[in-house]
Amino acid sequence: MMTNTEVVKQLKTKTGEESRLLIEILNLLELVRARRIYNDYGYSSLFEFCTKELKYSEGAAMRRINALTLQTQSPEIKKMIHENLENGELNLSHISAIAKIERSEELSIDQIKLAIEASQGTSARETEKVIRQTLNLKPVSVKTKVSIELSSEQLAHAEKLAALFSHSLSTQDLPGLFLYLLEKTVTQETNREAAQKLRKSLGRKVKIPDPQTITTTDKPQKLLQNMALIRNSTAVLKQSPPTSAVKIPTNESDHTQIEAILIHSKMRPIHSRTFSPLIRKKIRDRSQGMCEFISPITQKRCKSRWYLQLDHIHPWSLGGSSTLENCRMVCASHNRSEWIRIIEERQAELRST
Helix (H), strand (E), coil (C) string for 286-325: HHCCCCCCECCCCCCECCCCCCEEEEECCCHHHCCCCCHH
With 0-12 / 13-18 / 19 or more C-beta atoms within 10 angstroms meaning exposed / middle / buried, residue 23 is middle
Summarize the confidence of residues 258-283 as an average pLDDT: 65
Give 33-41's long-range contacts (Cβ < 8 A, gap of 24+).
33/68, 35/4, 35/7, 36/333, 36/336, 36/337, 36/340, 37/4, 37/7, 37/8, 39/293, 39/333, 39/334, 39/337, 40/4, 40/295, 40/296, 40/297, 40/337, 41/8, 41/295, 41/297, 41/298, 41/300
In eight-state DSSP terms, residue 137 is P
- The verdict on 183 and 240 lying in the same domain is no
Residue 248's pLDDT is what?
A: 44
Residues 96 and 58: beta-carbon distance below 8 Å: no
* Contact by Cβ (8 Å): 98, 124: no
Q: How many structural domains compose the chain?
A: 4
Share of residues in the chain with pLDDT > 90 (%): 23
Whether residue 126 is found in the same domain as residue 188: no
Domain membership flag for residue 144: no
Of 15-19, 193-197, 307-311, where does the model show the most confidence?
307-311
Residue 172 has a pLDDT of 66
**pLDDT digit string (tens) for 196-244?**
777 777 665 555 555 445 444 444 444 444 444 444 444 444 444 444 4
The closest alpha carbon to 287, from 332, 327, 322, 341, belongs to 327
Taking the whole predicted model, whether its pTM rises above 0.85 is answered as no
pLDDT tens figures, 100-151: 888 888 889 999 999 999 998 888 778 888 898 888 888 776 667 778 888 8
Q: How far apart are the two ends of the chain, measured CA to CA in Å? A: 25
Statement to judge: residues 198 and 241 lie in one domain: no
Residues 292 and 344 reside in one and the same domain: yes
173 and 68 together in one domain: no
Distance CA 162, CA 139 (A): 30
Element containing residue 254 per DSSP (H, E): none
Contact between 283 and 297 (Cβ < 8 Å)? no
Mean of pLDDT values over 267-277: 68
Most confidently predicted of 98-112, 161-175, 250-264: 98-112
Which residues form the domain of 222? 215-264
Is pLDDT larger for residue 19 or for residue 39? 39
Reported as type and span, the H/E element at residue 330 is strand 327-331
Shared domain for 122 and 194, answered yes or no, is no
| Model pLDDT, residue 109 | 92
Average pLDDT over residues 308-314: 90
25 and 127 inside one domain: yes
Residues 281 and 336 in one domain: yes
Q: Are residues 9 and 90 in the same domain?
A: yes
Q: Which of 162, 193, 187 is nearest to 289 (CA)?
A: 162
| Claim to verify: residue 91 and residue 175 sit in the same structural domain | no
Beta bridge partners of 329: 310
Q: Answer yes or no: is 166 within a domain.
A: yes
Instruction: With respect to residue 197, please indicate whether it lies within any of the assigned structural domains.
Output: yes
Q: Using 50, 70 and 90 to split pLDDT, how confident is the model at 266?
A: very low
Q: Are 73 and 42 in contact (CB under 8 A)?
A: no
Alpha-carbon distance of 253 to 19, in angstroms, equals: 75
Q: Please name which of 228, 233, 245 lies closest in space to residue 274, comparing C-alpha atoms.
A: 233
Contact 115, 134 (CB under 8 A): yes
Phi, psi of 329 (to 5 degrees): -95, 120
Cβ neighbours of 71 (radius 10 Å): 23
223 in the same domain as 123: no
Confidence at residue 170, expressed as pLDDT on a 0 to 100 scale? 66
Q: What is the pLDDT of residue 261?
A: 46
77, 110 Cβ separation under 8 angstroms: no
